[in-house]
Amino acid sequence: MSARVEDAVKIYGIAATQVRALDHVSVEFPAGRFTAVMGPSGSGKSTLMHCAAGLDTLTAGSAWIGGRDLSTLNDRQLTLLRRASVGFVFQAFNLVPTLTVLENITLPLDLAGRGGREREADREWIDSLVDVVGLGDRLRHRPSELSGGQQQRVAVARALVARPEVVFADEPTGNLDSRSGAEVLGLLRTASQELGRSVVMVTHDPVAAGHADEVLFLADGRLVDTMSAPTAALVLERMKAFDRPPVGSAAR
């Protein structure tokens, strides 16, 4: 099991202003599976991802990555865990503007101090990653010289370079046109199917969710449904149900 949360509860604020962002959620993100997390605004989908990735802490329950209970780790251990076992793709601002494309891709390895002989061992892997994302001719460029889609592809390569157990993607296609978005989603799919990673993607785009193996639906902090072998149409259909009152309250 690559990543999971058990009986996860996350409460923001106190007393009257209290908001229950996660309400006893338990999910698993197994290796080799591409999971999409969907739900209306305020459903707790981002909170779920942040807590599962160790970027945020749970109020109750537990989050695990690769057999390690995140609540037992301090900031430094969490950082090292992120570096080694978790890959991130954010909606925007994924790349360090002062570093070249190649340097951005190898950043997690560099931060871990993996140079010299270890780097030689990584070389082939990095080359193959570069091939997969198809940016071999752009390695020396700066992020500002790339299109949005290219930037997100670099981000995916960066997320995979440390051979993490799980890759978390937060609206990775949110700022992209549909073609670039499809390329990025294709890469995430490759990551799960061919490289055997667990890929978790938060999205509100039914088309994006359609690329996943499984879709989880959250509403009001609760896991309300799952869908295997989704298609964009099916997902859209399911999502429309949330818009019908009285199910779900968009306020958070």
Does the protein bind other proteins through residue 147 (CB under 8 A)? no
Q: Following DSSP, what letter does each residue of 110-137 receive, concatenated? A: HHTT--HHHHHHHHHHHHHHHHHHT-GG
Q: How far is the CB of 230 from other proteins (least distance, A)?
A: 28
Q: How far is the CB of 209 from other proteins (least distance, A)?
A: 22
**Residue-level length of the chain:** 252
* E strand spans, 149-213: 166-170, 198-202
Does the protein bind other proteins through residue 10 (CB under 8 A)? no
CA separation for the pair 100, 106 (Å, rounded):
10
Q: x/- contact string, 187-226, with other proteins (CB under 8 A)?
A: ----------------------------------------
Choose between 91 and 231: whose C-beta lies nearer to other proteins. 91
Does the protein bind other proteins through residue 79 (CB under 8 A)? yes
Q: Count residues binding other proteins (CB under 8 A).
A: 29
Burial letters for 70-83: b for 16+ Cβ neighbours within 10 Å, e otherwise? beeeeeeebeebbb
Does the protein bind other proteins through residue 115 (CB under 8 A)? yes
Does the protein bind other proteins through residue 71 (CB under 8 A)? no
Of the candidate residues 13, 59, 69, 80, the single one contacting other proteins (CB under 8 A) = 80
CA separation for the pair 250, 75 (Å, rounded):
33
Does the protein bind other proteins through residue 179 (CB under 8 A)? no
Does the protein bind other proteins through residue 102 (CB under 8 A)? no
As to burial, measured by CB atoms within 10 angstroms (0-12 exposed, 13-18 middle, 19+ buried), residue 30 is: middle
Choose between 80 and 241: whose C-beta lies nearer to other proteins. 80
Does the protein bind other proteins through residue 108 (CB under 8 A)? yes
CA separation for the pair 50, 226 (Å, rounded):
20
Choose between 4 and 158: whose C-beta lies nearer to other proteins. 158
Q: Is 23 left (phi over 0), alpha (psi -120 to 50) or beta?
A: beta
Of 23-31, 77-85, 123-131, 198-206, the segment contacting other proteins by CB under 8 A is 77-85
Give me the numbers of helices (H) and strands (E) for the chain, helices first please: 9, 10
